[in-house]
Amino acid sequence: MILFGASGHAKVIIDILEKQGIHVDHLVDADPEIKSLQSYNVFHESSWNSESEDQEVIISIGNNKIRKQVTDRLKNKFGWAIHPSAILGDEVSVGHGSVIMAGAIINSATDIGNHTIINTACSIDHDCHLADFVHVSPNATLCGSVSVGEGTHIGAGATIIPNLTVGKWVTVGAGAVITKDIPDFAVVVGNPGRIIRSNE
């Protein structure tokens, strides 16, 4: 496996892959000053020919927009990382490039999109649908039948009650409680959640 992005997020993915018994060959980063991360070599993006690599890649960048930009220009196959302590129910699908971290619970009939991050100790209940490039932060809770659009970031400890739709490229603040549908590009904070501006 190769990781693109050599930051703290990459350290967590390395730990997951090692626990899965998956070998990390090296990392790639846009910062020429970064030469290593932990015990792994880091190559600058300009010197890395992605088309010559036959190994799978995970984009180890937490920012949804940047992760999408990097993914759009790579032609590699993408792998995924699932921590051994994560619990996945029946009929859960996980898209390529996605990462599921320690203690996450994803219940039955839930779809996780491509290049999505399910962070530490998240709870995602039955029949949820998360589109591509979503990031669910630590300890967030999605109740049953919640739909989350592309690129949305759900902050740490946020809660989304059942049967709601959260649009694309939404930012849900840490600790927010979402009690109604949220339109695309909204920034939502508080309990109950209120829209304070638009990202558009």
- Output the CA–CA distances (angstroms, integers) from residue 29 to 26, 32, 133, in the order listed: 10, 7, 19
Cα gap 70→88, rounded to integer Å: 28
Nearest alpha carbon to residue 62 among 129, 104, 122, 3? 3
N-terminal to C-terminal alpha carbon distance within the chain: 35
Catalytic residue ranges: 126
Tokens of 182: 């949220």
Q: Is the dihedral of CA 184, 119, 59, 79 positive or negative?
A: negative
Contact 195, 178 (CB under 8 A): no
